[in-house]
Amino acid sequence: MSRVQRLFVALTPPPPVRAELAALADELAGARWNPADNLHLTLRFIGDTPAETQAAMEEALARVRVEPFVLPVGGIGVFPPRGPAKVLWAGVGGGHTRLYQLRKQVDEALLSVDLTLDVRTFAPHFTLARLGETVEPKPLAKLLARHREFEAPPFRVASFELYASELRPGLPPAYRVVRSFTLAA
């Protein structure tokens, strides 16, 4: 029987950026904050993947060619934009054409090995917290207002990572870098 891993492709910000993102954590009842080590920008969630598919996928991802770029980090908001909020996020600033090029090439690499991808719009962000049904709108609105001008230092994106994710009941997921891919033109 082949081994299956729950995988995703992401950008990993450097420790100073992770620290600034994690510093947004607040005493918001009903919020489950992501630990600093788990903060990342998902390029593509893949899901459960058998080992033989993973090997072909890694080969395809190694062929991605995008120049390194600087990614500004700023803004804070919630998903979904209407109705009860479920996710608190920090965004990325404008002018990130190469980020979208990278996402497109990652998708093309994954499609080349016959993976099925969801077609949701790409909304680049760092998930800061998951919001439960008990989160009160007023304290959440205050938190959003308090951090509306949030900016972290921009960081140079010189690689992207393939992560394995292990879900753990009652705990944040455990993420492990399976392989890092260096960006180059």
Which residue numbers are catalytic? 40, 125
Structure-token pair, residue 103 = 């996402």
Give CA–CA dist 4/169, Å, rounded. Answer: 19
For residue 131, the one-letter residue type is: L
Q: Which of 101, 100, 79 is nearest to 90 (CA)?
A: 79
Count Cα atoms within 13 angstroms, Cβ side, for 176: 8
Give CA–CA dist 30/32, Å, rounded. Answer: 7
Q: Is 20 helix (H, G, I), strand (E, B) or coil?
A: helix
| Pair 148, 76: CB distance under 8 Å | yes
179 vs 18, 20, 53, CA distance in Å?
20, 25, 15
| Pair 153, 7: CB distance under 8 Å | no
